[in-house]
Chain A
Amino acid sequence: MNKEFMIIDNIPVAINGEKNLLELIRKAGIELPTFCYYSELSVYGACRMCMVENKWGGMEAACSTPPRNGMEIYTNTPRLRKYRKMILELLLSNHCGECTTCDKNGKCKLQELAARFDIHRVRFDNPKSKPCIDDSSVSITRDANKCILCGDCVRVCNEVQNVGAIDFAFRGSKMKVACSFDKPIGDSNCVGCGQCAAVCPTGAIIIKNDSHRLWKELNQEDTIAVAQVAPAVRVAVAKEFGYNGENVMGKIVAALRRIGFNYIFDTSTAADLTVMEESKEFADRLANGGKLPLFTSCCPAWIKYAENEYPEILPNISTCRSPMQMFASVINEKFKGEGKKILSVAVMPCTAKKGEAARDEFKDENGKPLVDFVITTQELIMMIKEAGIVFNEIEPEAVDMPFGTMTGAGVIFGVTGGVTEAVIRRVSTDKSLASLRNLAFEGVRGFEGIKELEVPLGDKAIKVCVVNGLRNVEVIMNRMKAGEHFDLIEVMACPNGCIGGAGQPKATIDEKKERSVNLYNADKLCTLKRSEENPLMDKLYEGILKGREHELLHVSYVK
């Protein structure tokens, strides 16, 4: 077979179906700088940092030029260096450069490239030297003066999430990213998924940082500080402390205790509770002709999206509260008689959870939210660092009693397909190990945006669909409108599920895959695979929850 080749910086490189020069150049081991290129998004071609020079001195943007056989290009010539420096200088001259006080300090692409290209002076006056903050959203904070208009947020919001809360407005040097009618983001149709913050190369969109406020509430005499840690968090922390991604739940527990929490629990426990309730609901709807398909309700960004775009399907959404909110109810019931203030904190991979905690449905009779603080994985990492905890050296600790047991079913909630897998484990009549294995390999796992499977249930088969990335919801909705039937549909707003949540540290697709492998490994190590096997369940149903399941564990989003 004739192989196609091209020459990059005088070195022949084989072309293997790469979409553009940029991919090929990076495969060849050259880190071409970019701001606006994401392989998962459409090619925008606006930052012009990835320009390469051809052998005739012509300039081409590597992100948008397909490789051609025999092409000869250079990636690092005097002209290219000059242009890249000038582009960086232009960007810096219109960018709030308060790096030391910026949340993105040390993680900012602009800062990184400015250092890499040795920009040590800016010859133009800067009209945007001070921040310009929009903190109207509970999930994210925007600073228009840090925006470099790469459009990554706009594309992820439109192309991946199909939300369209933000877009470009105005023209030329007045252009900015804005919501409709230039309203604050908090007044828009933003669902709080935070994927915009996850792709923003600068500090223009960051996750709302609540750690400062949380610090003030911790270590108070009259307060019981209770933390719950979501499944996806444990597999995303290690990298930040310099070792390979693995499950570090024990270390997180130890760190949280040092930070000042009295009780630390695992949200997986509440996930088991969710499985119990949701399975019951699903079985009930199946048996009694209830509304189907049943949509899962764990993801608050999905709930918001459904409320905005598909209010008609709200009755199909499970009435189960999310594991975080179920746990919050249980924690509240458990500690409320102790005469102290309860500080209920959830450590989540998610920015939308901040919005969920603030919803009216989840406030107690005094109007106090059942979850006082949601902090994301990123904020947890900041707090660990701020507390001076040497994460690598602390010894793992176990979560606290009385809610110290969980099953593998609860742990896999953190990855797309996890909720479905857990529910099927529960409702399936075949409890053999072989049936568990079958399920794992029959399409419920994996990063595809839409996964479909038929699961035998008694004498019939149920049709299950697993969706991640909100754009894919539209596809399924359209298919349903065209007459297709499903019984159970799991929706997670973020691509790849909660492990890809915007509250997690920035990760490549490979790193996200690693996170999912680690979650499934954690499941493997659990002796208990099915939620109903969790001995805590019986205790809860016989104790705190007795007769109050509906009040404490369910909610209706139907208006």
Chain B
Amino acid sequence: MLLKTKYDLDNAREQYGKLVDKQARKVLVCAGTGCVAGGSLNIYQKLIETISAKGLECVVALADEPHDDDIHEGAIGVKRSGCHGFCEMGPLVRIEPEGWLYTKVKLDDVDEIVDKTICNGECVERLCYKKNGEIYRQQSEIPFYKMQQRIVLEHCGHIDATSIKEYLAIGGYRAFEKALLNMSPEDILNEMTESNLRGRGGGGFPLGRKWTSVAKQKSPTKYIVCNGDEGDPGAFMDRSIMEGDPHRLLEGMMIAGIATGAKEGYIYVRAEYPLAVSRLKGAIAQAEQFGLLGDNILGTDYSFRIHINRGAGAFVCGEGSALTASIEGKRGMPRVKPPRTVEHGLFNEPTVLNNVETLANVPVIINNGAKWFRSIGPENSPGTKAFALTGNISNTGLIEVPMGTSLRKVIFDIGGGMRGDGKFKAVQIGGPSGGCLVTPNLDIQLDFDSLKKVGAMIGSGGLVVMDDKSCMVEVARFFMNFTQNESCGKCVPCREGTKRMLEILERIVNGNGQEGDIELLLELADTISSTALCGLGKTAAFPVVSTIKNFREEYEAHIRDKKCPSGNCKKLVTYQIDPEICKGCSKCSRVCPVGAISGEIKKPFKIDTSKCIKCGACISNCHFKAVKEV
């Protein structure tokens, strides 16, 4: 369907809206990466088959040219939705209009879902989320969702992520239409500046200012580049948006094009996100087919095209100038600035470079206005922020809360507190570029400025929660290992400095730490942070500095006493059999894969520590708890 005018667009929205409304019940199977890995696509397929076998009308896709009688009253819609965020409980199936959420759904559950829910409108309670004996039928009642405010992720999990028609049915591309037909570029720039939307990629730079700078450039060629190279370990906010609501991202880019005068956009997605790539490709093809991308959009003289560029997996390509270099086919290496990207960006032309989440905020601001947006969150960081919760937390997954929400609320209320019986120890915020926050920081507000004050950063929004069994030196080593691997190698402090920091951290966790290592780490950190060329280098040492600041005694225990207080560093642990407890049953010596345990039956056994590989088989097999880590 080619939409040539505003009328066509309105008409399409109405038609598709009607068809969606006709569906008596909708079954939304989560098709985010996590649930797909859990087999959700098989569930989707079986649902279609089972429903059809019951003789019910099963709607999978809306027709290209919609007609009123395409769908009959009482039809059942079965759709692949974007990520719901509650990945811990996947695969997830949502039932509408009731709003029920089925968790950990298996292929075998499909028959029961169809029989009870689809045919009879009954809830399958055993699939509902349970906590503290309470059963939550409604998705919105689940504590994980109840305290969230989903704006950017509002459609994720609620619409078919693969269909422009469903996006139109819920009023999609209304912001684009408004920006194109009812607003001047200046109006858009003013609205965005007024909204004070700040870049969600980590820097927090005001989007309005960036767009205005590009709009001012005289060059006839300009570009909109979307940074979807989300590389932080444990972060998947952008992926969820690209997979779950791709049209919203396109809409944001198209509005950016109108505001700045750009006619071409690039989305740089990491190749490790194949689903995001295919959803975006599909979305672009659909938008082109509908005439929302291409030449003379909706009968105006405005033209815009979007291309996809897959990143080859370099974290540093998330840095603006490295990203544009990578799109140009060059080595992904940051360059010195000035000139800035807004002046000389992609192909040396003025370029708007925003991350996925930032651009996904744009349509809703155009629709609801800057004033509405500023009513959410604190004055200087309005809006919401998506966070990826990972680590030793009960509810791992993707959440969205107003900026300024306290860390405590995020971890204990939404995240459900620590997993198992662990105690909260720290949370790494901002991934490998961020720092750790500890118990005294729990009431800190999550926004750009509050975090900066305590030496942390929001980064792209990864929250890795750690309990008391986590070794903070090991955490620092993990992140340093990551950054060191991902350093592009250009500037000396980052290339050589991170390597040396990693070397030192490795020797500390291996029990070879030396007196003076902490000071040397801090000296290196200071040099790297102050002199590195790009953001990756400047922030590479943050995890080390913040763990030293908060857990210096753990470093000292490793270095001086050769002990890991949390018992995490295997090299610093020895296994011993308590002769008082050991009954001499020989089980441990039989399960030991390297023959490190020997002894006589009914007498205490012994571990030869020179042979022991610390695999833990003896501990888990001893019925008397006689084997101990010391």
User: Measuring CB to CB, which residues of chain A are less than 8 angstroms from any residue of chain B?
Assistant: 43-48, 51, 59, 61, 63-66, 79, 82-83, 86-87, 90-91, 93-94, 123-125, 148-149, 151, 167-168, 170-175
Q: With a CB–CB cut-off of 8 A, which chain A residues contact B526?
A: 82-83
Whether B533 and A90, one on each chain, are in contact in the complex, defined by CB atoms closer than 8 angstroms, is no
- 1/0 per residue, CB under 8 A from A, across B77-113: the answer is 0000000000000000000000000000000000000
B531 touches A87 (CB 8 A): yes
Q: Is the CB of B527 within 8 A of A87?
A: yes
A287 and B338 CA atoms in complex are apart in Å by 55
Given the complex of chains A and B, what is the CA–CA distance between A94 and B524 in angstroms? 15
Q: Are the C-beta atoms of A172 and B530 separated by less than 8 Å?
A: no
Interchain CB contact under 8 A, B331 and A168: yes
- Greatest chain A CB density within 10 A among B488, B498, B499, B524 is at B499
Is B531 in contact with A172, judged by CB distance below 8 angstroms? Answer: no
Contact present for A83 and B530 (CB under 8 Å): yes
Contact across chains for B530 and A46 when beta carbons are under 8 A apart: no
Q: Do the beta carbons of B492 and A48 come within 8 Å of each other?
A: yes
Can you list 6 A-B pairs with a CB-CB distance of less than 8 A? A45-B336, A46-B491, A66-B338, A87-B493, A149-B495, A175-B495
- The answer to whether A48 and B531 touch across the interface, beta carbons within 8 angstroms, is yes
| Interface check B395, CB cutoff 8 A | no
**CB of B608 within 8 A of chain A?**
no
The distance from the CB of A150 to the nearest CB of chain B, in whole angstroms, is: 9
Q: A83-B531, A172-B484 given; name 10 further pairs at CB < 8 Å.
A: A48-B493, A59-B530, A61-B533, A82-B526, A90-B493, A94-B496, A148-B492, A172-B498, A173-B487, A175-B490
A94 to B497, CA, bound (A): 11
Q: How far is the CA of A316 from the CA of B453 in the complex (A)?
A: 69
A59 to B523, CA, bound (A): 16
B442 to chain A, nearest CB (A): 31
Contacting pair B493 A172 (CB below 8 A): no
The 4 closest A-B pairs by CB, nearest first: A175-B489, A45-B336, A64-B336, A90-B496
Q: Output the residue of B338, B500, B520, B532 with the most chain A CB within 10 A.
A: B500
- Point out the residues of chain A lying under 8 angstroms from B524, CB to CB: 86
- List the A side residues contacting B331 at CB < 8 Å: 167-168
- Report the bound CA distance from A125 to B512 in whole Å: 14
In the complex, the answer to whether A171 meets B527 with C-beta atoms within 8 Å is no
Determine the distance from Cα of A124 to Cα of B523 in the docked complex, in whole angstroms.
Answer: 13
**How far does the Cβ of B491 sit from chain A's closest Cβ, in whole Å?**
5
Near A by CB (< 8 A), chain B positions 471-518 give 484-493, 495-500, 503
- CB of B314 within 8 A of chain A? yes
Chain A residue contacts of B500, Cβ below 8 A: 90, 93, 124
Q: List chain A residues, Cβ under 8 A from B485.
A: 171-172
Q: B570 interface residue, CB < 8 Å from A?
A: no
Q: Which of B530-580 contact A (CB under 8 A)?
A: 530-533
Which residue from B503, B520, B531 sits with its C-beta under 8 Å from A51? B531
Q: Judge whether B488 and A172 touch: CB under 8 Å.
A: yes
Per the bound structure, the CA–CA distance linking A174 and B495 in Å amounts to 9
CA distance A139 to B497 in the complex (A): 34
B422 to chain A, nearest CB (A): 34
Contacts of A64 in B (CB 8 A): 336-338
Q: A124-B500, A168-B331, A173-B499 are in contact. Are A43 and B336 (CB under 8 A)?
A: yes
Answer whether residue B614 sits at the interface, using C-beta atoms and an 8 A cutoff: no
B174 at the interface (CB under 8 A from A): no
Assuming A61-B533, A90-B500, A94-B496, is B338 touching A171 (CB within 8 A)? no
A175 CA to B486 CA, complexed, in Å: 11
Q: Which residues of B contact A79 (CB under 8 A)?
A: 530
Whether A173 contacts B484 in the complex (CB less than 8 A), given A66-B338, A91-B496, comes out as yes
Contact A91 B492 (CB under 8 A): yes
Q: Given the complex of chains A and B, what is the CA–CA distance between A66 and B495 in angstroms?
A: 26
Q: Is B344 an interface residue (CB 8 A)?
A: no
Interface readout for B368-389 with A: 1 if CB under 8 Å, 0 if not?
0000000000000000000000
CB-based contact B489/A171 at 8 Å: yes
Q: Using A83-B530, A90-B497 as known contacts, say yes or no to A48 and B484 having CB atoms under 8 A apart.
A: no
A52 CB → nearest B CB, Å: 11
Residue of A nearest to B497 (CB): A90
Q: Which of A63, A87, A173 is packed against the most chain B CB atoms within 10 Å?
A: A173
Query: Distance in Å from the Cβ of A246 to the closest Cβ of chain B?
Result: 40
Asked if residues B492 and A90 are in contact (CB atoms below 8 Å), the reply is yes
Looking across the interface, which residue of chain B has its beta carbon closest to that of A44? B336
Tell me whether B335 is interfacial, beta carbon within 8 Å: yes
- In the complex, which of the residues A47, A82, A123, A168 contacts B491, with contact meaning CB atoms closer than 8 Å? A47
The chain A residue sitting closest to B499, CB to CB, is A173
Contacts A59-B530, A64-B336, A66-B338 given; indicate if A46 touches B496 (C-beta within 8 A): no
Say whether, besides A46-B490, A48-B493, A66-B338, A124 and B533 are in contact (CB < 8 Å). Answer: no
In whole angstroms, how far apart are the Cα atoms of A64 and B490 in the complex?
15
Q: Report the separation of the CA atoms of residues A173 and B487 in the bound assembly, to the nearest whole angstrom.
A: 8
Residue of B nearest to A92 (CB): B496
How far, in angstroms, from A46 to B333 measured CA to CA in the complex?
11
Choose one: A45, A51, A83; the contact of B335 (CB below 8 Å). A45
Q: Which residue of A lies closest to B532 (CB)?
A: A48
Residues of B within 8 A of A94 (CB): 496
Among the interface residues A87, A93, A172, which one has the most CB atoms of the partner chain B within 10 A? A172
- Chain B, Cβ-Cβ closest to A176: B489
User: Shortest beta-carbon distance, A4 to chain B, in Å?
Assistant: 17
Bound Cα distance from A14 to B496, whole angstroms: 37
Distance between Cα atoms of A87 and B533 in the complex (Å): 13
| Contact residue among A46, A91, A171, A172 (Cβ-Cβ distance under 8 Å from B533) | A46
The verdict on A46 contacting B492 (CB below 8 Å), with A83-B530, A171-B314 known, is: yes
Please indicate the chain A residues that have their CB under 8 angstroms from the CB of B495 in the complex.
Answer: 149, 172-173, 175
Give complex CA distance A168, B52 in Å.
59
User: A361–B105 Cα gap in the complex (Å)?
Assistant: 78
- Interchain nearest-CB distance for A338 vs B (Å): 57
Residues on B with C-beta less than 8 A from A170 are 489
Bound CA span A175–B491, Å: 11
Task: Establish whether residues A149 and B533, one from each chain, have CB atoms under 8 Å apart when the complex forms.
Answer: no
A51 partner residues in chain B, CB cutoff 8 A? 530-531
Instruction: Verify B336–A61 contact, CB threshold 8 A.
Output: yes
Most buried by A among B335, B485, B496: B496
Q: Which residue of B lies closest to A148 (CB)?
A: B492
The distance in angstroms between the C-alpha atoms of A93 and B493, with both chains bound, is 12
Taking a contact as CB atoms closer than 8 A, the residue among A63, A87, A174, A175 that contacts B336 in the complex is A63
Q: Chain A nearest CB: distance from B30 CB in Å?
A: 35
Distance in Å from the Cβ of B81 to the closest Cβ of chain A? 37
B493, B526, B530 — most chain A CB neighbours (10 Å)? B530
CB-CB under 8 A from B497, the residues of chain A are 86, 90
Minimum CB–CB distance from A183 to chain B (whole Å) comes to 18
Q: Which residues of A lie under 8 Å from residue B523 when comparing CB positions?
A: 82, 86
Given known pairs A45-B533, A61-B336, A90-B497, the reply for A124 and B489 (CB within 8 Å) is no
A168 surroundings in chain B (CB, below 8 A) = 331, 333, 489
Complex formed: what's the CA distance from A123 to B500 in Å? Answer: 10
Chain B contacts of A125 at CB under 8 A?
Answer: 503
Shortest distance between the CB of B516 and any CB in chain A (Å): 9
Whether A171 lies near B487 (C-beta < 8 A) is: yes
CB-CB under 8 A from A44, the residues of chain B are: 336, 490
Nearest opposing residue in chain A for B528, CB measure: A86
**Contacts of B297-344 to chain A: CB distance below 8 A:** 314, 331, 333, 335-338
Residues of A within 8 Å of B503, CB to CB, are 124-125
| B498, B499, B527 — most chain A CB neighbours (10 Å) | B527
B503 to chain A, nearest CB (A): 7
**Which residues on the B side are within 8 Å of A43 (C-beta)?**
336
Tell me the nearest residue of chain A to B523, going by C-beta: A86
A83 in contact with B496 given A45-B533, A172-B488 (CB within 8 Å): no
What's the minimum C-beta distance from A313 to chain B, rounded to whole angstroms?
A: 28
Q: Which of B486, B496, B527 interacts with A82 by CB under 8 Å?
A: B527
Per the 8 Å Cβ criterion, residues 152-191 of B in contact with A are none
B496 & A48 in contact (Cβ 8 Å cutoff): no
CB-CB under 8 A from A151, the residues of chain B are 490
| Measured CA separation A124–B490 after assembly (Å) | 20
